[in-house]
Structure 1
Amino acid sequence: MYPQTQQLLHDLVTQKIVPGISYALINRSEVLTQTFGWRELVPQRRQLTPGLQYDLASLTKVIGTTTVILQLVEAKRLSLTDTVQRFLPEFQDERVQLWHLLTHTSGIAGFIPNRDQLPAAELKAALLKLPVTSTFERKVVYTDIGLLYLGWIIEAIYQQPVQQVMTEQVLQPLRLHDATFTPDPARCVPTNTRYGQLLQGIVHDPKARVLGEHCGSAGLFASLTDLQQFAQWYLGQRPDLPQLISRTFIKKLYADYTHHQLGRSLGWDLRYPRQGQPLLYHTGYTGTMLMLDDELQQGLIVLTNRVHPHEQNSAFLDWREKIAQQFIAELPN
């Protein structure tokens, strides 16, 4: 199954691009999983073993926040054309709608001085004051801002912290038993070091550390088994799990939702094979990746800690792109 993709995944470790890797390849009812390499290199070298939890970084966006938003849209408690201002009156631009946030076409951007040193309430207030720039609707600019806003919209509806809502509305119903925002550090693959402290079971993203349970853009930890279960549910392969979103709605996600064919779905990026419908695709800064093909019932899950032991690892980005392209090239006819 996907021999050249597997070779590239193994090369990530043997070429020392990442310390270790856990991956899954889904081919209809068949699933192949592998875990190998090192869990950590500093302060000591420790072997990677199956079942450990990874900092998923931005995969939090599609597993948690996007799923809850789509549930609310399907239940008609939200509309994709609702304005952000309706739920977050502190935000001043009445043009921006929910679909802009989901497709990263809102144009919201700006510099926040001392951002990572601000307390949570001040950081939220500063983010909600950011202006809409000239890229509005015309360009995809991938940022955390839209998903942070969507998290606060979820909070306005549920009157609960967004991470609590994600836990109750997604993680628990889908029986993602290792998926959590409060992991046991001993079970976690570490990321980087901050101020002399190894980030193990502590979220790598600085905004997520400040915002805590009010962050919808990052913060989720999970095992490969959880990601496999989520992927199989998304592909409609797990009738034993509840239909949090209908199959009809999920199938509609394999389409471009921008106004100018910019290649983004609701919450997801799109990747296009030579023929057939696009694939859903998303990555996380820490070295995570998820790609799904509903039409052919295929999936790729990659979990690494590419920021360990050094934050700067641009080589991984080139390798990740090669792996994504190779997976698409090896899709069954």
Structure 2
Amino acid sequence: MRLTRRSVLAGAAASAVAGCSEPGGTAPAAPGTPVAASSAPPSVNAVNPDATSPDELIFTPGRTVRPAAAPASYGEQLLAVARRYQSPTPDNRAHGTHPGAVVLVAVDGEITVHGATGDAVRYGHGPVELPVARRVPMRPDSVFDLASITKVFTALLVLRQVDAGAVAVDAPVARYLPQFTGGRKGEVTVSMLLAHTSGLPVGLELAKARDRAAVLGTPLLPGAVPGGIMRYSSLGLMVLGQLVEKVAGRPLASLVADELTGPLGLRETGFKPLEWLSAADRETRLVATDARSNRGLLRGVVHDQVADAMGGVAPHAGLFGTAADLAVLGQMLINGGEYNGVRILKEDTVRSMLTNVNAGKQAIDADRPGRTATHGLGVELDQTWFMGKLARPLTFGHTGFTGTSLLVDPARRVTLVLLTNRAHPNWTWGNPDKPRAAVADALAPAL
């Protein structure tokens, strides 16, 4: 029998989903705004595992991310899958897909798996493979270039303005940014940018990265119909970055810190990590990306060249962070927009965020032939190409070019974070989607 959003199914404690842990509108609610906690104790998993629509999700505010009481039996299996892709196999070419990885699983907030494998730095500029003594081992608290997961943070900022009544998702972008004109761009809505159906090209020319007017002035692709085919577009998020800055009256970095990372307690997520990590942490925790470019070994400097040219702060890429911090982001949405007594989004806004707004549409993505157009407001939905057997109607998340990924099944209250350094030293050496799907496949039977 399918449960409705008003029904409650009391499941077993999260420890029953066994694991291994390693330490490691009205205006939007202001940081610190109290929210009533769930009446259920943290050990009770109130869940509707059969939910297939956002209206059927059961939110229980008050759950926080915390270590599980006992290690999960499947923890080493997940790490073994990630470890397999460190070595050459027929699937990942001669060099392996990534030098190292961090895997984290949280069930109803309880961290049942949090482990690391391989190296955070294995190559020097060239690339030249470093001797073992000079490599930097991966740690559960390693700090990664999150790449396009930054887009989720930008989307959350936009949705906070929706909660404030300052932005309407179905409104034309030109209402807020009059410079966003030309051709059929007047038909492009905020929702289309969040769902990648605007018709904008994938990215911005590097030479124009510092030209804010060029972001807004870029024409739609020839023949593109706003709201038609889904084409993944980083440029669309760049436009949204300018929109939210204008509406909120503050720069992006300040908005991320004041409205998201600060209230959520994400102390190790931010732009420009070389400015906030200690010297010791830079040496032991920063994960490297490219080692072959004319920029030298990239470590603590954003891999995306457009974001780098923008000064390291951009709406589509540039954030650095840890697996534990991303787990908090996932739990906040599982909670229905609340975390640790602070409301980030209204529950109805979270339901809207997790609604497929691209029903009946097609997707074009030469890099990922398995991608479908199924998409929420700022997050991918039900995508087997990186979610594997965890893909379900409400499973959502996002990936990053550097090898990062966040996957959340809100119906079963499960968060899976897989962070790899597949762009180190050369992003062409392997396909990061294969280990993403393989780790998800290994977790699926336990759920």
| TM-score (normalizing by structure 1) | 0.89
Distance 1:7 1:214 in 2: 35
Distance 2:407 2:209 in 1: 35
The 10-residue stretch of structure 1 (269-278 or 159-168) with the greater mean CA deviation from structure 2 = 269-278
Superposed counterparts of 1:135-214, under 5 Å? 135-184=225-274, 185-186=282-283, 187-193=285-291, 194-212=293-311
Distance 1:325 1:313 in 2: 23
Number of residue pairs matched by the alignment: 326
- In structure 2, what residue type is equivalent to 1:27? V
What is the Cα deviation at residue 176 of structure 1?
0.2
Does 2:216 match 1:117?
Answer: no
The corresponding residue for 1:244 is 344
- In structure 2, what residue type is equivalent to 1:22? V
Give the 3-state SS of the residue equivalent to 1:23 in structure 2.
Answer: strand
* Greater Cα radius of gyration, structure 1 or 2: 2
Alignment identity in percent? 26
CA deviation string 1:56-91 (max 9, x = no partner): 0001111x2011111111121110012111222221
The corresponding residue for 1:77 is 166
1:40 counterpart (97, 118, 121): 121
Distance 2:145 2:406 in 1: 14
Superposed counterparts of 1:160-309, under 5 Å? 160-184=250-274, 185-186=282-283, 187-193=285-291, 194-212=293-311, 215-236=314-335, 239-258=339-358, 260=360, 262-271=373-382, 277-309=393-425
Contact 1:161–1:213 (CA<8 Å) still a contact in 2? no
Distance 2:380 2:424 in 1: 26
Contact 1:224–1:303 (CA<8 Å) still a contact in 2? yes
CA deviation string 1:7-64 (max 9, x = no partner): 42232234532111111112224311111211111223221223221000001111x2
Contact 2:356–2:376 (CA<8 Å) still a contact in 1? yes
Q: For residues 155 and 82 of structure 1, do their structure 2 counterparts lie closer, same or farther at Cα, with a shift above 3 Å needed?
A: same
Q: For residues 167 and 236 of structure 1, do their structure 2 counterparts lie closer, same or farther at Cα, with a shift above 3 Å needed?
A: same
The corresponding residue for 1:100 is 192
Structure 2 runs not aligned, ≥5 long: 1-17, 19-73, 89-95, 125-129, 275-281, 362-372, 384-388
Structure 1 runs not aligned, ≥5 long: none
Contact 2:253–2:313 (CA<8 Å) still a contact in 1? yes
Contact 1:22–1:34 (CA<8 Å) still a contact in 2? yes
Contact 2:208–2:214 (CA<8 Å) still a contact in 1? no
Q: Which has the higher contact order (CA 8 A, sep 6+)?
A: 1
Q: For residues 259 and 232 of structure 1, do their structure 2 counterparts lie closer, same or farther at Cα, with a shift above 3 Å needed?
A: closer
- In structure 2, what residue type is equivalent to 1:77? A
What is the Cα deviation at residue 311 of structure 1?
2.3
The corresponding residue for 2:26 is none
CA deviation string 1:256-283 (max 9, x = no partner): 0125353010001101679964201210
Q: For residues 253 and 118 of structure 1, do their structure 2 counterparts lie closer, same or farther at Cα, with a shift above 3 Å needed?
A: closer
Contact 1:164–1:213 (CA<8 Å) still a contact in 2? no
- In structure 2, what residue type is equivalent to 1:192? D
Question: Aligned Cα RMSD in Å?
Answer: 2.5
Distance 1:275 1:36 in 2: 25
Contact 1:40–1:190 (CA<8 Å) still a contact in 2? yes
Contact 2:82–2:117 (CA<8 Å) still a contact in 1? no
The 10-residue stretch of structure 1 (1-10 or 170-179) with the greater mean CA deviation from structure 2 = 1-10
What is the Cα deviation at residue 254 of structure 1?
2.6
Q: For residues 274 and 285 of structure 1, do their structure 2 counterparts lie closer, same or farther at Cα, with a shift above 3 Å needed?
A: closer
- In structure 1, what residue type is equivalent to 2:218? L
CA deviation string 1:144-198 (max 9, x = no partner): 0111111000111122221221111101110100111021344421111331521
Give the 3-state SS of the residue equivalent to 1:312 in structure 2.
Answer: helix
